[in-house]
Amino acid sequence: MSKNAKIIDRYWLKHYVSSPPLGLCTLCGNTGVIDTRNVRSPAGVFPGKHSEYCICPNGRCMRKGAAP
């Protein structure tokens, strides 16, 4: 594991993992994908146009393997 991967892991574990017993990614729910297509900003703008891989281990594995 690279130094950058360890930094991302620590940041993700500190800020984006739900409390035990679940331990789920609060960004993607452990799906590995963050879908912002139907999200609306407080100003009413739709910022998302597509799905993106999450920074969680599942998302990073999917990005590395070029999952659809």
3: tokens are: 């130094």
Q: What is the pLDDT of residues 53-65, one digit of tens each?
A: 999 999 999 998 8
60: tokens are: 């990073």
Q: What is the pLDDT of residues 10-61, one digit of tens each?
A: 999 999 999 877 889 999 999 999 988 888 889 998 877 788 999 999 999 9
Domain extents in the chain:
3-64
* 49 phi, psi to nearest 5 deg: -115, -15
